[in-house]
Structure 1
Amino acid sequence: MADKVIALACAAGMSTSLLVTKMQQAAQEAGKDYEIYAKSVAEIDNMLSSSEKPDVLLLGPQVAYMKNEVIKKAAAVGVPCDVIKMQDYGMMNGKNVVAAADALMNG
């Protein structure tokens, strides 16, 4: 079982899968035991209501317009949430995204 679970949500869950791979590599290199996965935004309610909800939820930049609504839902169940920086997403910078997730979890 992983120490922390990081969930990413994007339009379809596809483009983010490459970022998940990069984040897993970065976490592993930093010696962190993280479970990282991506789902479509349609799955957010299920993720947050599950008994195994994530420790942090990150939104892809393409769904940033949903930020306020999702942050309210996530806060209601104690899950920090934010939008991945466009530059980190575009460059597939797993290290920076893991660092942003860490900052939210350790808030």
Structure 2
Amino acid sequence: MKKILLACNAGMSTSLLVNKMKAAATKNLAVEIEAVPVSEAVQILEGWDCVLLGPQVGHELAKFKRATRNLDITVEIISAQNYGRVDGEAVLNQALSIIKD
């Protein structure tokens, strides 16, 4: 199972994106996707395959990269375009493309 953590300011707006990502996942794709506030995400990094930051918290990227450097977790920022469109399929594909096998 692939585990994808999304982090934004409060975790609320990103929860809409999580629902779209889950809908985009095929029945053959086992994924766990959760959205949390950025302040919580930095405390629960272990066990996730990747972390995607909402564009509004992109300034936190360096902090997350430092926090994950020994955890084998890739961190990226969701594109503002995909985030604004709530394009679950595009964001799911982004996550899957950065997860280390």
Shift of 1:106: 3.9
Q: Which runs of 5+ in 1 are unaligned?
A: none
CA distance in 1, matches of 2:42, 2:53: 13
Q: CA RMSD in A?
A: 1.4
- Structure 1 runs of 4+ off > 4 angstroms? none
Question: 1:22 is matched with which residue: 20, 34, 38?
Answer: 20
Q: Provide the residue aligned with 2:86 in structure 1.
A: 92
State TM-score, norm by structure 2.
Answer: 0.92
CA distance in 1, matches of 2:38, 2:10: 7
Q: Give CA-to-partner distance per residue, 1:37-66, whole Å, 9 cap, x none.
A: 100011123212x4xx21111000000011
Q: Within 5 Å, which residues of 2 pair with 1:63-82?
A: 63-82=57-76
| Equivalent AA in structure 1 for residue 35 of structure 2 | A
Identity level (%): 38
| Equivalent AA in structure 2 for residue 44 of structure 1 | A
Question: 2:7 is matched with which residue: 9, 24, 33?
Answer: 9
Q: Provide the residue aligned with 1:44 in structure 2.
A: 41
Shift of 1:73: 1.0
Q: Which runs of 5+ in 2 are unaligned?
A: none
State TM-score, norm by structure 1.
Answer: 0.87
CA distance in 2, matches of 1:71, 1:88: 22
Structure (1 or 2) with the greater helix fraction? 1
Number of residue equivalences? 101
| Equivalent AA in structure 1 for residue 16 of structure 2 | L
